[in-house]
Each structure stands twice: as C-alpha cells, then as structure tokens.
Amino acid sequence: MGIFKHHKKLSTDTMSNGAKLITASNPKDPISEQFRTIRTNIDFSSVDRDLKTVLFTSADVSEGKSTVSANMAVIWAQQGKRVLFVDADLRRPTLHMTFGLVNTKGLTTYLARGADYHELLGNSGIENLTILTSGPVPPNPAELLNSKRMKDFLANSQNEFDIVMLDVPPLLSVTDTQVLSAEVDGVVLIVRQGITQKAAVQRSVELLKMVNAKVLGYVLNDVSARSGYGYGYGYGYGYK
Ligand SMILES: Nc1ncnc2c1ncn2[C@@H]1O[C@H](COP(=O)(O)OP(=O)(O)OP(=O)(O)O)[C@@H](O)[C@H]1O
Ligand SMILES: [Mg+2]
C-alpha cells in the first residue's frame, strides 16, 4: 500500500457537495477532538472483538452519515491505521466529491463485473487513507450489495487494511444497509439531535437486531449545547 504524499484539495468548504473534513483541515478544532473521543468510545465498545469492518448509519437521509464516516476515516488514518473507506451508498454516493475523485469506476464495477478491486482504489490525499468510490449507480443496489462478491470483497480487503469502512444509505428507506450491517464487525447508529424521531431510532435498532448486527453505540450528531443528550447513551459531535 502506497504512502500518499501529495496533497489534494479536500472538501473542507461549504461550497462542495462532499462531506466537510474538519479533522483533516483543522485537527486541533474542538470538533476534531470530539471525533477522537468517538474513536476512543468505539475502541472501548469493541475491546472483546477485532473491529476490522465498520459502518455508520442512521434512520433517514441527511443525518450526517457521510460526514461522520469521512471524519472517522481521517481520524483512524491519523492514528496510523491503514483505512479503506468504501462508498457503499449506491443511491446517493458522495465520497468522490469529498475526496475530489472521478467516479466512472468503483465498487459497482467490481460487483457487476468482478474486476480486480485493487485497480479501482483511489488516492484520498491523506496518508493511510484509501478510497473506493461507488462507481456508476446501478439499477439493483440491494442485489449487488447482497452478493457473494460483496462478501468476498469484505473478507479480502480486511486482510490488506486495518479498518474497512462503508458509507451507506439510511436504514429505513432501503434494505441495503440492513444487509451490509449483517456482514460487518460493528455498526454505529447516528442520531441527529432534534431531527431523528424516536420511533425511527427504535425501528432502526429493530432492523439491526433482526440481522444480529453488532451495534457498538450511538453518535449524537448536531448536538446543541443547551439540549444535551437526548437518547440513551451517545457520543456528542458538532456543537453548531
Ligand atoms: N454536526 C453537524 N453540524 C452541521 N452540519 C452538519 C452536521 N452533520 C452533518 N451536517 C450537514 O448535513 C448535511 C447532511 O450530512 P451528510 O451528507 O453527512 O448526511 P448523510 O446522512 O450522509 O445524508 P444521505 O442520507 O444523503 O447520505 C450536509 O450538508 C452536512 O454538511
Ligand atoms: Mg451520505
């Protein structure tokens, strides 16, 4: 695995459609510190098992899945872990925008044609962090993600990287994430403060239990300083 030295323009501004990488642009910011706290919490919640494959998901759209996942990918890479971050959101892929990559080929190229995925890996511009973009959006995402090729991909890639992370669609709208949750070592549920409905969180947890997913914990996103922690236990992130 190459060590990336050159620096690309990363998505750190509000003009971009990709996730904002504050952990890369400003590691000393309190929000970056909060992401490191999330890392510590996840480490503690998975002490008994080897956490090689992980995904962050949420009940509905726009609750911060891609933002939290991308920043956590950076945080683990900064810790020296070799991270592979995969865009498995075949409905609304954004990783290519976040990392300034072209998306003419990617995960779906491998899943549909059995291409060698090594040839599809992209340079994030951040040391230790490798990207696999989604590739062209297919008509049958759930089927592709539920395939033997996807299982093989997870089994093989985790031998080459310390952590394989998947960016995924919301749990409640399509089955893709439920399917993938059954295949990874750990799932973290993102709850957006003041937005995610309690019933939606309960339904999400049910869906994860149904497939025996290992829920490591919750990230409470967009916490307002005044309201504090709304649901069960959680790790706060983003005082904005
Ligand atoms: N803590 C936060 N504070 C402020 N804005 C945030 C925060 N978290 C996410 N956002 C913003 O909310 C929007 C949605 O975030 P993001 O794309 O990460 O969500 P998502 O769950 O991946 O969405 P989708 O369901 O479309 O995949 C983005 O514009 C993002 O910048
Ligand atoms: Mg997203």
Cβ(64) – ligand 1 distance below 6 Å: yes
Structural domain count, the chain: 1
**pLDDT at residue 3, rounded to an integer:** 36
Going by pLDDT thresholds of 50, 70 and 90, the confidence category of residue 224 is: low
Q: Interhelix angle for 30-45 vs 65-78, to 10°?
A: 80
Find the ligand nearest to 38 CA. 1
Task: Answer yes or no: is 3 within a domain.
Answer: no
Tokens of 161: 């990287």
Residue with tokens 């900064």: 78
Query: Which of these, 201, 203, 175, 178, lies nearest to 189 by C-alpha position?
Result: 201
Nearest CA to ligand 1 atom 23: 62
Nearest CA to ligand 1 atom 14: 62
Tell how far the Cα of 210 is from the centroid of ligand 1, in angstroms: 27
Q: Residue 236 and residue 240: Cα distance in Å, rounded?
A: 11
Q: Residue 178 and residue 167: Cα distance in Å, rounded?
A: 13
Task: Answer yes or no: is 218 within a domain.
Answer: yes
Tell how far the Cα of 87 is from the centroid of ligand 2, in angstroms: 9
Is 62:174 a contact under the CB 8 Å cutoff?
A: no
What are the tens digits of pLDDT across the range 117-145? Answer: 999 999 999 999 999 999 999 999 999 99
Is 138:108 a contact under the CB 8 Å cutoff?
A: yes
Residue 217, strand partner residues:
188
Cβ(62) – ligand 1 distance below 6 Å: yes
Q: Residue 95 and residue 87: Cα distance in Å, rounded?
A: 6
Nearest CA to ligand 1 atom 16: 64
Find the ligand nearest to 170 CA. 1
Tokens of 186: 């750990």
Task: Answer yes or no: is 20 within a domain.
Answer: no
What are the tens digits of pLDDT across the range 187-217? Answer: 999 998 888 889 999 999 999 999 999 999 9
Q: Which domain holds residue 78?
A: 28-237
- Secondary structure (3-state) at 21: coil
What are the tens digits of pLDDT across the range 28-67? Answer: 988 888 899 899 989 888 777 789 999 999 999 999 999 9
Residue 8, Cβ neighbours under 10 Å: how many? 12
Task: Answer yes or no: is 9 within a domain.
Answer: no
Residue 229: burial class (beta carbons within 10 Å; 0-12, 13-18, 19+): middle
Tokens of 33: 């510190």
Task: Answer yes or no: is 23 within a domain.
Answer: no
Task: Answer yes or no: is 21 within a domain.
Answer: no
Find the ligand nearest to 192 CA. 1
Residue 231: give its domain's CATH number. Answer: 3.40.50.300
Cβ(20) – ligand 1 distance below 6 Å: yes
Q: Residue 210 and residue 74: Cα distance in Å, rounded?
A: 31
Tell how far the Cα of 36 is from the centroid of ligand 2, in angstroms: 21
Task: Answer yes or no: is 5 within a domain.
Answer: no
Q: Which atom of ligand 1 is nearest to the CA of 221?
A: 1
Q: Which atom of ligand 1 is nearest to the CA of 20?
A: 31
E-strand stretches of the chain: 53-58, 83-87, 122-123, 129-132, 163-167, 186-192, 215-221, 235-237
Task: Answer yes or no: is 73 within a domain.
Answer: yes
